[in-house]
Amino acid sequence: MKCNRRDLIKLAILSSCFSTKSIFSYTPNTSYHTNLKYVHLNIAGGPCRWLFDNPIAPFKESKIDKHPMIVNTFANKGNEANFSNMIYGRTKVQDFYMPKFWEMDLYTSTGKRKASELLENCLIVRGVHMGIDGHSLNNRRLLSPVPGKPNLTGLLAGNSNKVFPSVNLVADSGVAGVAGGTFYSENNATQVDVPQNHDNPFHYLLNPFVSIKEQQSLFANIENEYSDLKDVLKLDFDLLKKRYLKLKKIYEKNIHESIRTLDIEGLSDRSIKGLSTEKISLGNVKKEISYFANNDVHIGNKDFRTTLKTSVIENLGNEFAIAQILIENDLISTLTLNINTLTHLYYEDSFESDSFERVIKGVKDTFFKVSNLKKYTKSIDRTHEFQLDSHDTGLLTNMFLSTYFYRGISSCLLEMKRQLQSSKKWNEVIFHLASEFDRDPRPDGSGSEHGWNGHVSSFFGGAIEGLQVVGNVEINSKENSYYKDNGTWGQGAKISDLDNRFLVYGNIISGLSSFFGVNTPTPNDNPLFTRKAGKLKLNTRECRNV
């Protein structure tokens, strides 16, 4: 057998590369795209997505089995919200019917813009089976699908020639339980963890370069050994810092306006009577009282909307500013950006949640009772947070605060998109928004459980043409979910293009690996998408409610 030059080159490269040994191995790193960047936006906690980027009825004719908790709009006219007239509203964006969220305005540096602009380059993958429950377990799998094997950011960083092959912007969730902390590169590439609440996170990253540059005259006679730092040292750090501070202000302003402005049609454009306006007696109470629950507090506020009066999403503006600087200056190959929840919510006339006992008689057979009504007296601080792991987040709290939470994030994403389009970097980045799983809503509207077989991943970037939605969901949830027969919330259904198998997270990882040109850590899972002529191309378009 003749071994031609092409084979020899492949062999030489292969012998020095990580390679997997199975039928679904991919050709190795020769196709690695050096200028592409992967940004992983991680929301730890598994908040619900049906209000945001999980279109549970993506087409006009899509059948759904309504669930009382899956609502996003007060449908009544007038100045006051009517709880008995709540619907799941949709809006048409390109070929799909998306949740009503996408009709709203987002606040950007160039004024209000329609949220749907963000969907111009967006892929949504719904109904992904994670197979097993668990926050930490599943969040870690988002980047490290096979424990012990190189993870996605490790693979991308391993091929990187950037100053910071990988950066992890840490948030409240810490590092351990979440994706960013799983970084592992067989090529020993580096990931820098930027601690949150650092006095000056931008400085933290560029620290050594800045201080070296200030003393450049002192090391003239060691230049040869450190010549590879020359290029980095040519960066104008003062200018970068000024730009970072300016961007930080922009993002923080966008977030502030997006989460404090009460202008969302059908949601915050009318007053919403809070729990304190209800007469609560001891003994059994109506289940609607649980709608106001937010984990350890039942929110009393006379007008529920005032919960946002003092709210913030800590560190998010800062993170997006850093991210933009790193992307625009080609300083990274991968970035993990961990997102904090809404905190510093404003409560008044509220109650301790353990005043209200949820009595479970059986599956879908619950009632509520009050034996000792206790006022909630903690003062406003970051523990007044919107609980993303929304087990005990009631219908109203979930609908209202989820929407604003995602509005804050979307305003940043849209700002980032517009800024990167302007600097011609939008085509070089894929933003991947993910959490462990979606939610399986409780029949009584008092909260939701883990929907581990309905994970949603959304992707944004110039390489994605238009809005694309893929993934089948069950009209009525089946086994392998928390509740059976629980309506349409997004539990994944089988895909005929995948030999009648469920979509699993490995299909996404293989897709990303293929797109970026690295070996996949999940060789047994076919790629959901690939890269063709610089664009993301789906290998299946199935998107049905079955």
Partner 1 sequence: MFKHFILISLIVASFTIKGEPLANRFYVKNFLLAKFGKHLEPLLNETIIKNISIFNGPCDIYGQVVVEEKSKLKEVYPEATCYSDISQSKVDMNGKKSTLRKAWILKTCLAISKNEESIKEVNSQDRKKYVESYFSYKEDYKDFIKSFDIKNSKTSELILKLCTNQRWQRI
Partner 2 sequence: MKKMGIGYSPQNHRDVLNEKCLHCHSYLGQSDEELISQNLIVPNKPEKSLVYRYLKGSNVGGKENMPPKASLSNKEVLLIKNWIKSISPQTEIASKPSQFQISKTLSEGEIYKRCYSKLTDLPLSAQDDRLKEIEEGDLSGADACMLLIGNATKINDSDIIVQNELGSRILLNFQKLHSFWFKEWNFFTAMSTWGTFELLDPTRTGIHFSYSLFNPQYSLADIFSGQRSFELTRQSKQKSEFLIYKFKNEPRYKINDYKYIYGLSQKDGSYKSWNPSRVQTGKITGIKMIAKNEDILPIVVDSKDNQKEINPATEIKFKKSIHTGHGGGIIGDEAYISLNLGQDLGKKMDGGKLLPRRWSNALVSEFLCRDLPVLKTEDVIQYVQPNSTLPFRKNESCMKCHVTMDNMAGLVRNVQQTYSADAGGDGWIHSTHLRRFEIDDKLEFLKTAPDKDEYFYKRPYRALFKYRDVNDKLIVKNLSSLDELGKTILEIDDFYYCTSKKYLKYFTGVDIPLTLISKRKKNAKERLQVEVLKKLGLGFKKSKSLRSLIRSIYETPYFKSLNYEEGIVLK
List residues binding partner 1 (CB under 8 A).
16, 161-165, 170, 174-176, 181-184, 187-193, 195, 207-209, 211-212, 215, 218-219, 221-222, 225-226, 228-229, 231-232, 234-236, 239-240, 243, 328-330, 423
Nearest distance from C-beta of residue 256 to partner 1, angstroms? 25
Nearer to partner 2, 116 or 185 (CB): 185
- Residue 21 binds which entry of partner 1, partner 2, none, CB below 5-8 Å type-dependent: partner 2
- Residue 162 binds which entry of partner 2, partner 1, none, CB below 5-8 Å type-dependent: partner 1
Q: How far apart are CA 428 and CA 335, in angstroms?
A: 13
Nearer to partner 2, 260 or 501 (CB): 501
Nearest distance from C-beta of residue 169 to partner 1, angstroms? 12
Phi/psi at 109 (5° precision): -70, -15
DSSP states along 168-202: EE-BTTBTTTSGGGG---TT---EEEE-TT-S-HH
DSSP run (H or E) holding 451: strand 448-451
- Residue 514 binds which entry of partner 2, partner 1, none, CB below 5-8 Å type-dependent: partner 2
Q: How far apart are CA 62 and CA 492, in angstroms?
A: 15
- Residue 24 binds which entry of partner 2, partner 1, none, CB below 5-8 Å type-dependent: partner 2
Sign of CA dihedral 41, 47, 52, 53: positive
Phi/psi at 338 (5° precision): -95, 130
Nearest distance from C-beta of residue 43 to partner 2, angstroms? 16
Nearest distance from C-beta of residue 458 to partner 2, angstroms? 25
Nearest distance from C-beta of residue 97 to partner 2, angstroms? 29
Nearest distance from C-beta of residue 453 to partner 2, angstroms? 12
Chain centre to alpha carbon of residue 208: 31
Nearer to partner 1, 47 or 165 (CB): 165
Nearest distance from C-beta of residue 407 to partner 1, angstroms? 29
Nearer to partner 1, 26 or 209 (CB): 209
Nearer to partner 2, 270 or 455 (CB): 455
Nearer to partner 1, 136 or 366 (CB): 136
Residue 131 CB contacts under 8 Å (≥ 6 apart), including other chains: 452, 453, 504
Nearer to partner 1, 54 or 185 (CB): 185
Chain centre to alpha carbon of residue 178: 13
- Residue 22 binds which entry of partner 1, partner 2, none, CB below 5-8 Å type-dependent: partner 2
Q: Using DSSP, state whether 207 is helix, strand or coil.
A: helix
Do 122 and 468 meet the contact criterion of CB atoms below 8 Å apart?
Answer: yes
Burial class for 111, CB neighbours closer than 10 Å (0-12, 13-18, 19+)? exposed
What are the residues binding partner 2 (CB under 8 A)?
Answer: 1, 3, 7, 10-11, 14-15, 19-27, 132-137, 140, 147-148, 172, 174, 176-177, 184, 360, 362-364, 366, 391, 449, 482-483, 499, 501, 514, 524, 526, 539
Nearer to partner 1, 162 or 450 (CB): 162
Nearest distance from C-beta of residue 425 to partner 1, angstroms? 11
Q: How far apart are CA 230 and CA 219, in angstroms?
A: 12
Output the CA–CA distances (angstroms, integers) from residue 79 to 269, 347, 485, 490, in the order listed.
Answer: 8, 22, 36, 32
DSSP run (H or E) holding 406: helix 395-422
Q: Using DSSP, state whether 84 is helix, strand or coil.
A: coil
Nearest distance from C-beta of residue 170 to partner 1, angstroms? 7
